[in-house]
Amino acid sequence: RKEVEQDPGPFNVPEGATVAFNCTYSNSASQSFFWYRQDCRKEPKLLMSVYSSGNEDGRFTAQLNRASQYISLLIRDSKLSDSATYLCVVKDGNFNKFYFGSGTKLNVKP
């Protein structure tokens, strides 16, 4: 079983739509959680950390559900520039390793 699993998509949405991605993780001892964004053929870049209480950054909201072992990313009022692959990342507290999901592809259409 993979450490981190994501729906690969693609999610095809119109501009202005609200879209949500989920990501599940297998290790209940995981301590830190992140969403990264990766544009085609580019390096992953940190989008936001995910806190236990949930957090919001502009149009982006991230939530953590420890009981069900998943994190989510909600994007409101989608822009064309939001088109990218979104990577879920989980940090293993015991070994300080980062585990990356294979990514969810988002296409925002005009």
Partner 1 sequence: DADVTQTPRNRITKTGKRIMLECSQTKGHDRMYWYRQDPGLGLRLIYYSFDVKDINKGEISDGYSVSRQAQAKFSLSLESAIPNQTALYFCATGDSNQPQHFGDGTRLSIL
Q: How far is the CB of 76 from partner 1 (least distance, A)?
A: 23
Binding partner 1 by CB under 8 A: which of 19, 90, 101, 106?
101
Write out the chain in H/E/C secondary structure: CCCEEECCCCEEEECCCCEEEEEEECCCCEEEEEEEEECCCCCCEEEEEECCCCEEECCEEEEEECCCCEEEEEECCCCHHHCEEEEEEEEECCCCEEEECCCEEEEEEC
Residues numbered 31-90 forming contacts with partner 1, rule: CB under 8 A: 32, 34, 36, 41-46, 49, 87, 89
C-alpha–C-alpha distance, residues 38 and 51, integer Å: 21
Region 2-31 residues binding partner 1, contact defined as CB under 8 A: 4, 8
Q: How far is the CB of 9 from partner 1 (least distance, A)?
A: 12
C-beta of 89 vs 108, nearer to partner 1 = 89
Does 98 sit near partner 1 (CB under 8 A)?
A: yes
Binding site for partner 1 (CB under 8 A): 4, 8, 32, 34, 36, 41-46, 49, 87, 89, 96-98, 100-103
